Amino acid sequence: MSSLRSHDDTWDIATSVGSTAVMVAAARAGETDRENALIRDPYARILVAGAGSGTWESLLDGDLVEKIGAVDTEAAAVFEHMGSYQAVRTHFFDDFFAKAVDAGIRQIVILASGLDSRAYRLEWPAGTTVYEIDQPKVLEYKAETLAAHGVQAAAQRREVGIDLRQDWPKALRAAGFDAEQPTAWLAEGLLMYLPADAQDRLFELVTELSAPGSRIAAETAGVTARERREEMRERFERFAAQFNMEHALDVQELMYDDPNRADVVQWLAEHGWRSHGVHSVDEMRRLGRYVETVHRDPAGFSTFVTAERL
């Protein structure tokens, strides 16, 4: 179990799990600025800029990898790989939603949505409703920040401000969700912050709420060897101060390293879904964005899972 987590912990946009949403948004902003960008998120930089000071400011520096490389080439490769991974992940799940709406699905649920801006930046057919579930303070920050910049959602967006450890299905229904209609669900950047039993319970509830034809996409939780985590922590500490990252949160400490975690593809296949998994490394290679690093442990990388309710 993570040493920084408890069964009733909460957060806003700049603390604990909430701060990871800002770092992910910073990665999307960085990718958007690339000439050969895989995704375009015009709102990511706005959301990062309003979050106050933090490590994410350094992540917005387009020359960061080059600067780190002058000090530690392996660390630079890791940082470049992380940025490319975020871009590939976003691209994969954007495509998932495009295919879902092409199939006629008009009800979308983003679990632990954080600073996900898909409700604003993707092209949604008329009549699409996007439900975003997350901590109330996180949803409030996103909505107020984008509204202050005159940004409007491209679909009907409904906030469900509740912790996923609470009765979120009840809150989702109260917001207008119709379990009789096919739904496209997304669990991106979520499962690693849940213990194994909570992951199972999440998918059980999603299954109960999913009409035939519903779809789900999820990013599995990779498992990084303890020795590798410690090595990277020590390497990071050696140059953190030089790049204004000395107060960076150790994201690994927020995650649950649970060896009993169910295989998501298998779990879904056994509970009424037709499921398929694509290893993130394979997807990165397909898109020409894989970065070689000294330590390559396939178990440490996630799988992108998609499934359809039978």
pLDDT tens-place string over residues 229-259 = 666 666 666 666 666 655 555 555 666 777 7
Per-residue pLDDT reduced to its tens digit, 164-222: 989 999 999 999 999 999 999 999 999 988 989 999 999 999 999 999 999 999 999 87
Q: How many percent of the chain have pLDDT more than 90?
A: 62
Q: Quick one: pLDDT band at residue 44, thresholds 50, 70, 90?
A: very high
Q: How many percent of the chain have pLDDT more than 70?
A: 76
Q: Quick one: pLDDT band at residue 4, thresholds 50, 70, 90?
A: very low
Strand order in the sheet with 129-134: 156-161, 129-134, 107-111, 184-187, 215-219, 303-309, 273-279
Structure tokens of 233? 């922590």
Tell whether pTM > 0.85: yes
Compute the mean pLDDT over every residue in the chain, rounded to the nearest whole number. Answer: 86
170, containing H or E segment = helix 168-174
Residue 195: other Cβ atoms inside 10 A: 18
Distance of alpha carbon 189 from alpha carbon 114, whole angstroms: 9
Please report the beta strands in the chain, taking only residues with DSSP state E, as ranges in sequence order: 107-111, 129-134, 156-161, 184-187, 215-219, 273-279, 303-309
Residue 294: other Cβ atoms inside 10 A: 9
Q: Looking at residue 49, what is its pLDDT?
A: 87
Name the residue among 306, 239, 246, 297 with its Cα closest to residue 81: 297
Residue 155: other Cβ atoms inside 10 A: 20
Mean pLDDT along residues 253-269: 85
In terms of residues, how long is the chain?
310
Residue 248's beta-bridge partner residues?
none
In 218-235, which positions are buried (b, 16+ CB within 10 angstroms) versus exposed (e)?
bbbbbbbeeeebeebeee
